[in-house]
Chains A and B, each alone.
Chain A
Amino acid sequence: MDVFFSSYGFLLAMVVQQALLGLSVYYPLLAGQLSLASIGFYSLGGYVAAIMGTHPALAALRESLGFWMFPLEWLCALVLSIILGLAVGLPVLRLRGIYLALATIAFAQVVNVTVLNMPIAGGAVGIFAIPQAFDSRLAYLFFFGPLLVLALAVAFRLERIGPGRVILSIREDELAAAAMGVPTTYYKVLPFVWGCALAGVTGAMSAPFLNTWNARQGTFDASVACLAYVLIGGARSPWGPVFGAALLVSLPEVLRPLRDSRMILNGVVLVLACVYLPRGIVGAFSSLSRRMRGVKEAAS
């Protein structure tokens, strides 16, 4: 058990961390908006935490705050993400479909190029020797865990309350929703900003978790990975991104004993999941359980 946690502690925490990123893509999808901007906010949040954790000018503040420095970093990342999320979301969400996706990819690229050229962000090497909150990687679950619970709770609650239903109505048919008098821009920006904020705070928590932060955290590959968590896991339930992240993050590690062939098997599993589980893992489970219930009811 000891060996299990010491070798897989990082992986367990990372599953939760990536699930949060998956959820940050899931929120805008609730309103039918495909946004790949999350990774840009994740990268920004990480830089906020990395700079606040290492910049010599803030040494006195760190000294006096101690552990409370970490929540302060999250707060700064949160505020920055919300402001930037609004600034990006308001004009960009006037676009639809593929154009929206392209604009959000462009945003992530802009963030990447900007930080690469900012001396304070350490250039290509990035920022390293970020102060640690915990010794064990597994203990970072104390950061990511509560945030995941909060994000899931909000997602489930949204399905039951008025504003949530309005958001879902935009996903089903934006024109019809607008015809019913729904201010669609407002209800599209809302989940978008909430997703941005979630990604930003996750980034701020991740900088100490990874020990280092650089522009490679915010690449296009990473944003595609986040989207894949949602698509493989299932885009119709908040559990989707969580299961998707758990599968996609842990699979290469679980297959590690296979050495060179592990990436081949990893790819095969993904292809099979895409072909046979078009509604994701969670979608497949729910239709399976519905069928079982149907069988039971038919029997009684």
Chain B
Amino acid sequence: MRRTLFAVLCLLLAVPALAEPVKSPIPIGIAVAQTSNVALFGEEQVNGAKIAEKYFNGQGGVNGTPIVLVFQDTAGDEAGAVNAFQNLINRDNVVAIVGPTLSQQAFAADPLADKAGVPVVGPSNTAKGIPQIGPFVGRISAPMTQVAPHSVSEALRINPKIKKVAVLYAQNDAFSSSETTTFQQAVKDLGLEIATLQKFQTTDTDFTTQVTAVLGEDVGLVIISGLAADSGNLVKQLRQLGYQGLIVGGNGLNSPNMFPVCGALCEGIMVAQAYSSSTVDANPVNKAFVEAFTAAYKKAPAQFSAQSFTAVQVVVEALRKAEKDSGKKITAMDLAAARAELNKALRTGSYLTPVGEISITPEGEVDQKSFYVSKVKMNSDGKTGEFVLVTQ
């Protein structure tokens, strides 16, 4: 039994991959979490990608050849991502993969795609080290270290007198505890002083200790990294006990789920975003995207949807560029050659996308031109509200 297995293995290593043509319509893989507890994000990514498929096929696809998105569920774990990638690479013969949802999954699955020579475009991987996985791995999602500092500098622009800052974070949340180090660095880089550093748990409801410490320091800015519910309560208690300065929130506060918690007291919380749906006047692609998305799903698109649209867009435009540069139709190319050509094209030129103008560096890192800082504006009912763009 084991000898046969060994023989099969040897055979496997000996047989070279046969030349395979690119299918028409051109298959592009989407490997995101459609099940598990990450599906909340994955579903938004699926929605955004579907809009992109329809939009770009409406434009004639890749110079006349339509594209088709092949969805493979990665679920929420590393093994699921590897399985989805293997299916897309070997069975669905896609030219490129958009995915996976989580950075941790990317670290497991991307090396396999890189080895197989399949370009990967990460739509939501923000951790350090993703583009460095290999020459075929890139992303269009700006890392946290680039996005978060914008809200702090915007706060300083609104109130230049700020000298002392209070930083609070949820100690038991992985994202929050790593986001806060970015915030603390940004505060130091701007020459401000961290007067107090307070920790809390995402399960806390009473923040008297933390709020008292903040009020005792006479700070002009409070920076919070946490999840929606706990941060909402924290903001509420800060305001109720008399804090009147500015509040900057991390990505966890970039969610309408916070509004029912702090109610009218949410007013004025500032968050930095990689995407804003209110840039439709200045950005025609975003206008088309927001209109199509709102028509299909009856709500404005969130960041995850916009980024997955952007990832598909980048692949489609790079395919067009690859055809132009090589003077050959993608469907006339051998699959391996098409993948290599596409990877080269992905890293040249810039793209006007829903998240603004971006380009991908030769290493695979995204270079996003503009970020958005929004402010919470609550409605008169004190329960609903929205994020209003402060600046770009």
Given that A10-B82, A212-B108, A256-B87 are contacting pairs, would A123 and B133 also be in contact in the complex, using a CB cutoff of 8 Å? Answer: no
| Pairwise interchain contact A210-B108, C-beta atoms closer than 8 A | yes
Roughly how many angstroms separate A256 CA and B88 CA in the complex, as a whole number?
A: 12
| Pairwise interchain contact A138-B12, C-beta atoms closer than 8 A | yes
B86 proximal to A (CB < 8 A)? yes
B260 proximal to A (CB < 8 A)? no
A164 proximal to B (CB < 8 A)? no
Contact of A212 among B15, B71, B72, B104 (CB under 8 A): B104
| Pairwise interchain contact B91-A2, C-beta atoms closer than 8 A | no
Contact of B78 among A7, A137, A138, A216 (CB under 8 A): A216
Roughly how many angstroms separate A252 CA and B79 CA in the complex, as a whole number?
A: 12
Contact of B90 among A3, A129, A145 (CB under 8 A): A3
B177 proximal to A (CB < 8 A)? yes
Residues in B whose Cβ lies below 8 Å from that of A253 = 83
Interface string of B251-270 (1 = CB under 8 A from A): 00000000000000000000
| Pairwise interchain contact B83-A216, C-beta atoms closer than 8 A | no
Residues in B whose Cβ lies below 8 Å from that of A145 = 2
Interface string of A11-49 (1 = CB under 8 A from B): 100100000000000000000000000000000000000
Contact of A260 among B34, B90, B108 (CB under 8 A): B34
> Considering the complex of A and B, which 10 residue pairs feature the smallest CB-CB distances, nearest first?
A124-B174, A212-B107, A128-B107, A7-B90, A6-B90, A7-B86, A125-B127, A212-B108, A211-B108, A211-B111
Residues in A whose Cβ lies below 8 Å from that of B112 = 137, 211
Given contacts A129-B133, A210-B108, 8 further A-B contacts (CB under 8 A): A6-B90, A7-B90, A129-B111, A136-B13, A210-B82, A211-B109, A211-B111, A216-B77
A99 proximal to B (CB < 8 A)? no
A139 proximal to B (CB < 8 A)? yes
A281 proximal to B (CB < 8 A)? no
Residues in A whose Cβ lies below 8 Å from that of B296 = none
A161 CB to nearest B CB, Å: 26
A279 CB to nearest B CB, Å: 27
Interface of A is mostly: helix
A248 CB to nearest B CB, Å: 12
| Pairwise interchain contact A139-B2, C-beta atoms closer than 8 A | no
Given that A125-B128, A138-B9 are contacting pairs, would A11 and B83 also be in contact in the complex, using a CB cutoff of 8 Å? Answer: yes
Give residues in A with beta carbon < 8 Å to B: 1-3, 5-11, 14, 116, 123-126, 128-129, 132, 135-139, 141, 145, 210-212, 214-217, 252-253, 256, 259-260, 262-263
Residues in B whose Cβ lies below 8 Å from that of A214 = 104
Roughly how many angstroms separate A211 CA and B86 CA in the complex, as a whole number?
A: 14
Interface string of B1-17 (1 = CB under 8 A from A): 01001001100110101
| Pairwise interchain contact B82-A137, C-beta atoms closer than 8 A | yes
| Pairwise interchain contact B104-A7, C-beta atoms closer than 8 A | no
Contact of B178 among A125, A139, A210, A217 (CB under 8 A): A125
How many positions in chain B have a CB within 8 Å of any CB in the partner chain?
41
Roughly how many angstroms separate A8 CA and B112 CA in the complex, as a whole number?
A: 13
Roughly how many angstroms separate A259 CA and B75 CA in the complex, as a whole number?
A: 12
Residues in B whose Cβ lies below 8 Å from that of A136 = 9, 12-13
* B90, B104, B128, most chain A CB atoms within 10 A: B104
Residues in A whose Cβ lies below 8 Å from that of B9 = 136, 138-139
Given that A123-B178, A260-B34 are contacting pairs, would A8 and B86 also be in contact in the complex, using a CB cutoff of 8 Å? Answer: yes
B129 proximal to A (CB < 8 A)? yes
| Pairwise interchain contact A212-B78, C-beta atoms closer than 8 A | yes
A-B CB pair tally, cutoff 8 Å: 94
Given that A7-B87, A216-B77 are contacting pairs, would A124 and B34 also be in contact in the complex, using a CB cutoff of 8 Å? Answer: no
Roughly how many angstroms separate A8 CA and B178 CA in the complex, as a whole number?
A: 35
Residues in B whose Cβ lies below 8 Å from that of A211 = 107-109, 111-112
Contact of B103 among A10, A14, A125 (CB under 8 A): A125
| Pairwise interchain contact B91-A3, C-beta atoms closer than 8 A | yes
B35 proximal to A (CB < 8 A)? yes
Roughly how many angstroms separate A8 CA and B75 CA in the complex, as a whole number?
A: 17
Residues in B whose Cβ lies below 8 Å from that of A138 = 9, 12
B175 proximal to A (CB < 8 A)? yes
A1 CB to nearest B CB, Å: 8
Please report which residues of chain B, range 113-148, place their CB below 8 angstroms from some CB of chain A when the two chains form the complex: 115, 127-129, 132-133
| Pairwise interchain contact B178-A14, C-beta atoms closer than 8 A | no
| Pairwise interchain contact B72-A124, C-beta atoms closer than 8 A | no
Roughly how many angstroms separate A2 CA and B91 CA in the complex, as a whole number?
A: 11
B308 CB to nearest A CB, Å: 18
Roughly how many angstroms separate A135 CA and B12 CA in the complex, as a whole number?
A: 12
Residues in A whose Cβ lies below 8 Å from that of B103 = 125
Roughly how many angstroms separate A6 CA and B86 CA in the complex, as a whole number?
A: 7
Contact of B8 among A5, A8, A252 (CB under 8 A): A5
| Pairwise interchain contact A14-B107, C-beta atoms closer than 8 A | no
Roughly how many angstroms separate A1 CA and B14 CA in the complex, as a whole number?
A: 13
A8 CB to nearest B CB, Å: 7
18 contacts between A and B (CB under 8 A): A2-B15, A5-B12, A10-B82, A10-B86, A123-B177, A123-B178, A124-B177, A125-B128, A125-B129, A125-B178, A129-B111, A129-B129, A132-B111, A141-B5, A210-B79, A216-B77, A216-B104, A256-B83
Contact of B115 among A116, A135, A139 (CB under 8 A): A135
| Pairwise interchain contact A263-B35, C-beta atoms closer than 8 A | yes
A178 CB to nearest B CB, Å: 42
- Chain A residue, CB-CB nearest to B171: A117
Residues in B whose Cβ lies below 8 Å from that of A116 = 174
Roughly how many angstroms separate A14 CA and B81 CA in the complex, as a whole number?
A: 13
- Chain A residue, CB-CB nearest to B129: A128
